[in-house]
Amino acid sequence: MNVNAQVTGRLAIPFDHQRLDRLMDAAAIDVIVATSKHNAQYLTGGHRADFFDVMDATGVSRYMPVLVYPKGAPEKAAYIGHRLEKFQTQNRPLWMGEVQTASAGSVDAMQKAVDYMRKAGLSPKRIAAEFGFLPFDAANVLRAAFPDATWVDALFVLERQRAVKSAGELAKLKIASESVLASMQAVIESHGAGATKNDIVDALRLEEVKRGMTFEYCLITAGTSLNRAPSDQKLEPGDIMSIDSGGNYKGYIGDICRMAILGEPDGELTDYLGEIETIQRAAMKPIKAGAMGREIYAAGEPLRAKSKHHNHLDFLAHGMGMVSHEAPRLTDHGPVPYPAEYADMPLEAGMVVSVETTLLHQARGFIKLEDTVVVTETGHEVYGEGLRGWNRMGAAL
């Protein structure tokens, strides 16, 4: 993340707080109360509770970080964490002037945040809270403390803040993408006939963890089946396999899909994957700083539409980073519903787009490529370029 020159007592602010202030000002937001793990991690500069990295439930409540950021006053920012975070913050202090690590659940965490806001003299008229990440009991505490304040969803402002990645963030995304790709290669080459989809996913999990990643998911198909869930289905000679995995490196997701085959591809399979590659490359071609977001679809969608398989061919481009399908959001008719607000906005250097093309062929199976593409000033860079063709399974056996 960007290291800002301004400091707040002890440490440099690890993100472009002036950009965040401008975004808050444009949305008439006085204070942000962030309660999601990913935004707390972003705004703290990488801090994430080890104990609650996966599961949030604890006792009769749940873990909930609270980060308070007042517009134009980073010196009054505060972080409220769980008591077990005390040890982490002792080892790696946070930049905020106020850091409390004594909460045990959602209600007391929010109450501590409210108490701090009052002590700091904050009287916000418009509060941006993360509606999708704010438990009902904690929301009641915040609303009771500021009954006359107007609430808005912080999601859009925080996504716009995160949409342009710093060099440090891009480095993490590159490591994530390349590590997922290397893990896929290792698993494809070491598994052959008789291996189940469960075997493949279990092996992929180990490979990603071995490379310093947190394994998040693997969507996998085998043979002619279009079912993408892990199962005891065995791979047979001649079967194709799609392997689509997200691996998390220090908060940033590498999301790639590649194809494999147990044997040799025939001309038809070669043509199908070749057509998908053509669409992928065409969609990537206009990606550069200053290009309108809709240009990606304008380049890829016509090729999909004119394909003889257009009724079974899907094309999608979406933002990628700490969250799958984050900004820039380029379409409002994809599988994940959201507004296409970035379709008519210029792309900025540092934005990251996932480009994916999928053929759901009833006779040959599920064929897909997915790539992570970074916007640069002069064009774009693909993270994790390799393994784009038909990769032979069992090559290392």
Kindly provide the residue ranges of all beta strands, DSSP E only, lying in the chain, ordered along the sequence.
31-34, 57-58, 61-62, 66-70, 78-82, 98-103, 126-129, 150-153, 214-222, 240-249, 252-261, 313-319, 326-329, 352-361, 365-375, 380-383, 390-392
Report the C-alpha dihedral over residues 174, 45, 145, 111, rounded to 10 degrees.
110
Residue 284, token pair as written in the block: 């990537």
Q: What is the mean pLDDT of residues 191-201?
A: 98
Res. 10 pLDDT band, cuts 50 70 90: low
What is the predicted pLDDT for the residue at 336? 87
Write the pLDDT tens digit of every residue in 142-189: 999 999 999 999 999 999 999 999 999 999 999 999 999 999 999 999
Q: What is the mean pLDDT of residues 219-227?
A: 98
162, containing H or E segment: helix 155-163
Alpha helix ranges (H) inside 194-266 = 197-210
Question: Could you give the maximum distance between any two Cα atoms of the chain, in Å?
Answer: 71
pLDDT at 7 over 80: no
pLDDT at 3 over 70: no
Q: What is the mean pLDDT of residues 289-311?
A: 96
Write the pLDDT tens digit of every residue in 21-39: 999 999 999 999 999 999 9
Q: What is the mean pLDDT of residues 42-49?
A: 97
Write the pLDDT tens digit of every residue in 108-137: 999 999 999 999 999 999 999 999 999 999
Average pLDDT, the chain: 95
pLDDT at 386 over 90: yes
Pick the CATH number of 17-162 from 3.40.50.80, 3.40.440.10, 3.60.15.10, 3.40.350.10: 3.40.350.10
265: number of CA atoms within 13 Å, CB side?
A: 21
Write the pLDDT tens digit of every residue in 287-296: 999 999 999 9
What is the predicted pLDDT for the residue at 8? 45
pLDDT at 13 over 50: yes
Res. 396 pLDDT band, cuts 50 70 90: confident
pLDDT at 213 over 60: yes
* CATH no. for 167-392: 3.90.230.10
Can you give the residue ranges of every domain in the chain?
A: 17-162, 167-392
What is the predicted pLDDT for the residue at 233? 98
CA dihedral sign of residues 140, 146, 152, 158: negative
pLDDT at 210 over 90: yes
